[in-house]
Structure 1
Amino acid sequence: MISPLLRGGCAALALIAATPALAQAPDADLAALVRAQAAEIAALKTRLDRLEGTAAAAPVPTFAGTPAPGAQAGAPRTTQPFAPQLAPPGPADRDVERAIAARDNPSGVTTEWGAGLPVFHSADGVYTFKPRGRILTDVSTSFGSKYKGRNLTTTGMRALRLGLEGAVGTHFFYQFESDFSENEVDVVTAFVGWRNRLRPGLDYDVRAGHLFNDRGFEGSTGSDSTPFLERTTVATAIIPQRGFYGIGIMPRLFWKTGHVSLTVTGDRIDGTQAVSDSRTALARVHWNPIKTDRGVLHVGAWGFDESLSSVAGSLTRNTVIGGRFNGALRVSTGTLTGGTGTTGYGVELGGYRGPLWLMAEAGRRKARLDAGRPDFVSEAWSVSGGFFITGDLPPYNPRLGSFGQPKVLKPTFDGGPGAIELTARYENLDYTDLVTGGDGWAPPLGGKWYLNNFTRFQVNAIQWHTDNRARPYTGGDDGQTLSARVGVTF
C-alpha cells in the first residue's frame, strides 16, 4: 500500500522543481504557472490513488487454487466445498488439491469460520486445526399400541460429542471424537491418515484407527446429517455384528464421479485382549454417471464379510422401527446364539434434481450358525425422498456418496427464512427366516428447518407396524410415534 509519506514527498518534489520558474515569471504569468503546477500535482495524486486501488483489489487464491471473486488482500481464507450446497470440509476431509492450496498460499495466522467452530491456519500454511462438536437432543412420544408398555414419552441425547481434527502439511491428517450421550465416555471416531494424488483427477487417502463404516447411503451418513431422526432399516439391520465402528485400516480411491473404499477391522474399542478379535472386511463403491450443477444420479453397491470371535457368538438383534428412544418398540429376532460369522450386501439408487431428492436402498444379511444349523437370512429395504420448499439443493456430497452438512442459501441469522425441507419414507424389515424372528414396516413423514449451516430443528411423524414372535410384545401391533430434535453441529 502506498504510504501518505510517499504521497507528500511526490508533491514536494513537484513544487521544488517548479520554484525556479516561479521566481523568473512575470506577475501575469505567475498565476497561470501555479494553476498548471497544481493540476500536475492533482494528476499525480490521482495516478497514485489508482495504483493503490489496483494493489488493494488484487485477488487472493482460495484453497481450490482459483481466485475468489471480490477477494481483497489480507482477506480470510475460505475452503471451497465439494459441492456449492455443502459447508466447507474440515482439515481431515479435504482432498489433496485443497491441502496443496493451503500450503502454497500462506497469508499469516488466520481463522476461518463458516461451519460452526473456527478452523485455525498457521502462518506458513503447514498446520491446520479445528475443534469439533455435535449436540442432538431428542424428545419422543409413542401411542396407539395395544401394549401399555410401548406407549411411552421419553427424552434423550442422540449425540453429545466433542473432538478435534487437523492436518500437518499436505498429506498427514487426524481426527478424534468422544461421545457422552449415555452419561459415559465412548470413543467414536479416532484415526490418523495420509492422502496423496496419483494423477490429476485421481487421488487417495488411507485411514487407520477407530473407523466409521463406509456402508450404504444412510449407513455412511453421519448422525447429524441423516434425512430422518433415525437411519433406515437397511443401515441399522444389514450391518456387521460389531456395529458402525471397528479398529482397522481403510484405503479410499477418489475420482471426479465417484469413489471406492475397502475396510478391514477388528472389534470396536474395548478392554478384551484374552481372545482374538472378530474380523470384518467391508467394501463400497459409488458412482455418479450424471453430475451437473443442479442434479446428480447416484449408483452404489457394498458388501461385508465378518468372522466372529469365540466370545462374540450372540446374533440377537432388536432393531429400531418407530424411534430410537422407545426401547420397547423394536423388531426382534428373539434370542439367537452360536453365531460364527455374517455376510451382508446391498445396493443404492437415487439422486437429486434441483430441490427434490430420492434414494432407494436394499440389503440382505446372512448369519452363519454353528452345530449344523441353517443360516439365518434377514432382509430390509427403503425408499426415501425430500423436497426443499425454500429452493436449496439437497446436501449431497459427490465425493463420498452420502449426505453432509448443508450450506443454507438464506440463513435466518441474516434475515432469511433458512432452509425448509419436507421428507417422506417407507421402510421394511424382515427377520421371519427365524422361527422366533419378527417383521415390521414404517412410513415416516418429516420436516426439517435449517436455521443456518449448522443449526436445525427436525420433526418426524411415524406410523409403525410390528409383528414379533418373541416376548414380551408378540403378535401384530400398530401405533404412532411423534419425535422432535434440536441439532447443532460444530
Structure 2
Amino acid sequence: MTLLRTGCALIALVVATPALAQTPSADELATLVRAQAAEIAALKARLDRLEGAQQIAAMPAPATPGTVATTSASAPAPVQVAQQTRRPQVTAPFAPQLVPPGPAERDVGRAREANDAGVTTEWGAGLPVFHSADGVYTFKPRGRILTDVSSSFGSRYDDRNITTTGMRALRLGLEGGVGTHFFYQFESDFSENEVDVVTAFIGWRNRIAPGLDYDVRAGHLFNDRAFEGSTGSDSTPFMERSTVSTAIIPQRGFYGLGIMPRLFWKTGHASLTITGDRVDGNQAVSDSRTLLGRVHWNPIKTDRGVLHLGLWGFDESLSSAATTLTRNTVIGGRFNGALRVSSGPLTGGTGTTGYGAELGGYAGPVWIMGEAGRRNARLDGGRPDFVSKAWSLSGGWFITGDLPPYNPRLGSFGQPRVLDPLFEGGPGAIELTARYENLDYTDLLTGGEGWAATVGVNWYLNSFTRIQVNAIHWNTDNRSGAFIGPDDGETVSARVAVTF
C-alpha cells in the first residue's frame, strides 16, 4: 500500500509537469498546487477505504445463532454472538468515500469496536450478560412477568364464586459484580400498579477453604425461610406457596432491611439474618427486630438424586406500630380476596417466634417435599400466645424425563434446565404436580382453619418460560368475618410466566 501511495503521488507530478513548463503566474501556480493537493488527499482517502475493506474481508465471518466466536488470547472469556447473520457485500461502481457504509459494514464495524474494547457478551435466560475486557466488571438486566387468571366456584357464598385476573409479579431490575468478591442486585415490582422495592442489596463473597465458601449481603433481603418460602415466586412448582410459607412468617413479611451472612459447603448451607422493617417502613418509631436462621443438608447427593433436610426458625420483637396480628391467609388462590382463612381481629402483639422443618428430595424426574411449621405470637396483658400451625406435602413428576430444578447450594427450587426446549423443536419439559396443605388458627376463639388439595401441570417451554395450570379443591371453616362456618369449593388458575 505504501508503494501504491507513492506511485499515485508520482503520477500526479508527471501530470502536473506540462503545466509547470508554461511558466504560470504565482496565482495560477498556487491554484494548481491546491488542486493537486486536493487530488492527492482524495487518492489517499480512497486508499484508506480500500485498506479498510480488505481488513474487513480478512475478518472471520460473524457467528451464526448458537455458535461462539473466539476472541484474542488476552480476552477473559469467549464472545457468544446470538441472532446475527452475515449479509452479502455489494460492490458499488463508484468511489467508496461517496457512499455511506452499508448494513453489513456497519455491523462488522460494531463488532470490531466491541472486540477492540474486549467487551464480551453471553446470552443466558433471555437477556445478555456483559463482561468487561479485563473480566473485572459484570452486568445483567433481570426481571419477571407472571400473569394469572383465576376462577372459583362451588362455594355456598356467591361472593366467593368469582373470576379475576392479576399480575403475580411484574419486576424489573439488574445485577452485577466487581471482581470476584463484590456483587449487587436490585429489583422493583409494579404488580399492584405501585412501585415496590423488593430485592436491593450489595454483597461480598469469598472462599475460606476448598469446598467452603461464604457471602455476606446487606440491604433489602428476601427471607431464607422454609423450602417454598426460600424459592422465588417465578420458580415455585405451584402458583402459590404453601400455607407453611404464607402463614408461619414474620409479621413484616417476606422482606426486611438488614444483613445476612451465609456459609456454603459441598452438601448444604446455613444462613443468619438480622433485619428491621421493610424498606418502606415507618420511620416515626423504632423498627421491629427480626432474627432468622436456616440450615439445610443433603446427606445424599448424586447426579440423579438428592435427600434434603432442613430446619429454620425466627424470633421478632415487634415495633409499637406493628402490634396488630390479624391474619387472612391464602388457601385457594391468591386472586380471590374472599377466599381466606382468618384469625379474626387480634391486637396487642409484642413479638412472635416461629420454626419449622423440611424433609424431601428427588430421584430422577420425581420429587417430593414435606414441610411443617408453628408460630407463637406473644400478646400483651398476660394473655396466652396465639399459636398458628401449618403443614404441607407436595410432589412432582417430569414426564419428559427432565430433572427437578433443585438448587443444592440454597436448598430451594430454581429455574429448570430443559433438555429439549420448544423453541428448538422439542416438546419442552412437562411436569405433573400435587399438594395437600393444612392451616390451623383455632387456638383463638375467633380463629379459623382450612385445607386445600391441588393438582397441576407445568409446561416449561424453555428454561425461563412456562405455562402453569392449578386445580384446587379447598375447604374453610372461619369463626369470624363475612364467610363464617364450613364452606368448600374449587378454584382453577392459570399462569403465563417469563423470567429473564
Common fold by TM > 0.5: yes
The residue correspondences of 1:73-84 to structure 2 (distance < 5 A) are 73-74=70-71, 76=78
2:180 to 170, 180, 190: 170
Distance 1:184 1:349 in 2: 37
- Secondary structure in structure 1 of the residue aligned to 2:229: coil
Q: Distance in 2 between matches of 1:406 and 1:179?
A: 23
Instruction: Identify unmatched segments of 5+ residues in structure 2.
Output: 1-59, 61-66, 72-76, 81-115
Residue 479 (structure 2) pairs with residue 439 (structure 1): no
| Counterpart residue identity of residue 194, structure 1 | W
The reply to whether residue 126 of structure 1 matches residue 129 of structure 2 is: no
> Aligned to 2:436, which of 426, 451, 470?
426
Q: Answer yes or no: is the 8 Å Cα contact 1:366–1:375 preserved in 2.
A: yes
Distance between the aligned counterparts of 1:402 and 1:336, measured in 2? 33
Local SS of the residue matching 1:443: strand
Greater gyration radius: 2
Aligned match of 1:215 in 222, 225, 233?
225
- Pairing partner for 1:148 from 158, 167, 170: 158
Q: Does 1:387 align with 2:397?
A: yes
Alignment-derived partner of residue 280 in structure 2: 270
Indicate the residue corresponding to 2:369 in structure 1: 359
1:302 paired to 2:312: yes
1:274, CA displacement in angstroms? 1.6
- Alignment partner, residue 416 of structure 2: 406
Q: Deviations over 1:294-353 (max 9, x none)?
A: 000000000000100011100000000000000000000001000000000000000000
Equivalent-residue separation in structure 1 for 2:126 and 2:348 (angstroms): 46
Encode CA deviations 1:276-308: one digit per residue, 9 max, x unaligned. 000000000000000000000000000000100
Partner SS state of residue 230, structure 2: coil
Assess if the C-alpha contact under 8 Å between 2:357 and 2:371 holds in 1.
yes
Residue 407 of structure 1 deviates from its aligned partner by 1.4
Distance in 2 between the 1:416 and 1:345 partners? Answer: 43
Q: Output one character per residue of 1:346-391: Cα deviation in whole Å (capped at 9) or x when no partner.
A: 0000000000000000000000000111001110000000000000
| 1:254 maps onto 2:261 in alignment | no
In structure 2, what is the Cα distance between the partners aligned to 1:248 and 1:370? 27
Quote the Cα distance in structure 2 between the aligned partners of 1:107 and 1:362.
Answer: 54
Say which SS state the counterpart of residue 470 (structure 2) adopts.
strand
Q: Given that residues 421 and 427 in structure 2 are in contact (C-alpha distance below 8 angstroms), is that contact kept between their aligned partners in structure 1?
A: yes
CA deviation map 1:219-274 (0-9, x unaligned) = 00000000100000000000000000000000000000000000000000125222
Deviations 1:3-48 (A, max 9, x none): xxxxxxxxxxxxxxxxxxxxxxxxxxxxxxxxxxxxxxxxxxxxxx
Distance 1:322 1:194 in 2: 40
The answer as to whether partners of 1:210 and 1:247 remain within 8 angstroms in 2 is: yes
Residues 378-410 of structure 1, C-alpha deviation per residue, up to 9 Å, x if partnerless?
100000000000000000000000000111100
Measured after TM superposition, the shift of residue 485 of structure 1 is 0.1
- The amino acid that maps onto 1:167 is G
- Whether 1:280 aligns to 2:280 is no
Q: For residue 88 of structure 2, what is the aligned residue in structure 1? A: none
Q: Under a length normalisation based on structure 1, what TM-score does the superposition of the two structures give?
A: 0.79
Post-superposition offset of 1:72:
7.4
Seen in structure 2, the aligned counterparts of structure 1 residues 265 and 271 have a Cα distance that, compared at 3 Å, is closer
TM-score (ref. length: structure 2): 0.78
Residue in 1 that maps onto 2:485: 475
Size of the aligned set, in residue pairs, is 395
Q: 2:70, 2:79 within 8 Å by CA — same for their partners in 1?
A: no
2: CA distance between counterparts of 1:422 and 1:358? 12
Amino acid at match of 1:250: M
Equivalent in 401, 406, 409 of residue 396 of structure 1? 406
CA distance in 1, matches of 2:334, 2:69: 49
CA deviation after TM superposition for structure 1 residue 109, in Å: 1.2
Equivalent residues of 1:107, 1:124 under 8 A apart: no
Structure 1 residue aligned with 2:3: none
Root mean square deviation of aligned Cα = 1.5
Percent sequence identity over aligned pairs: 82
Query: C-alpha displacement at 1:114, in angstroms?
Result: 2.2
Q: Does 2:378 align with 1:346? A: no
Distance 1:449 1:426 in 2: 21
1:79-127 deviation line (CA, Å, top 9, x unaligned) = xxxxxxxxxxxxxxxxxxxxxxxxxxx9931111121211100110000
Question: Matched residues in 2 for 1:193 and 1:209: separation?
Answer: 9
Query: Are 1:138 and 2:148 counterparts?
Result: yes
Q: Does 1:230 align with 2:240?
A: yes
| Matching residue within 117, 120, 123 for 1:110 | 120
Separation in structure 1 between the aligned mates of residue 372 and residue 118 of structure 2, nearest angstrom: 50
Compared CA separation, residues 187 and 461, structure 1 to 2 (3 A): same
The answer for the alignment partner of 2:426 in structure 1 is: 416
Q: Call closer, same or farther: CA 1:299–1:381 in 2, change over 3 Å.
A: same
- Aligned equivalents of 1:136, 1:197: Cα separation in 2: 36
Aligned amino acid, residue 291 of structure 1 = K
Partner of 1:203: 213
3-state DSSP of counterpart to 1:219: helix
Query: Is 1:193 matched with 2:180?
Result: no
Amino acid at match of 2:145: I
Q: Which of 288, 302, 313 is matched with 2:323 structurally?
A: 313
Q: What is the alpha-carbon distance in structure 1 between the residues aligned to residue 294 and residue 355 of structure 2? A: 10
- In structure 1, the partner of 2:470 is 460
Structure 2 CA distance for partners of 1:226 and 1:266, relative to 1, 3 Å: same
Residues 342 and 481, structure 2, Cα contact 8 Å, conserved in 1: no
For residues 21-32 of structure 1, the aligned pairs below 5 Å read none
SS in 2 for 1:441: strand
**C-alpha spacing 1:290/1:283, structure 2 compared with 1 (3 Å):** same
- 2:5 aligns with none
Q: Could you tell me which amino acid in structure 2 is paired with residue 390 of structure 1? A: T
CA distance in 2, matches of 1:271, 1:338: 19
| 1:209 maps to amino acid | G
Amino acid across the alignment from 1:145: S
The residue type equivalent to 1:359 in the other structure is M
Task: Pick from 347, 353, 365 the counterpart of residue 337 of structure 1.
Answer: 347
Are the equivalent residues in 2 in contact too, given 1:349–1:359 (CA < 8 A)?
A: yes
Q: Is contact 1:116-1:453 (8 Å) kept?
A: no
Give the secondary-structure state (helix, strand or coil) at the position aligned to 2:159. helix
Question: 1:107 and 1:450 mapped to 2: Cα distance?
Answer: 37
1:285–1:300 Cα contact (<8 Å) kept: yes
State how 1:63-78 maps to structure 2 within 5 Å: 73-74=70-71, 76=78
Helix, strand or coil for the counterpart of 1:349? strand
Structure 1 portions without partners, runs of 5+: 1-55, 57-69, 79-105
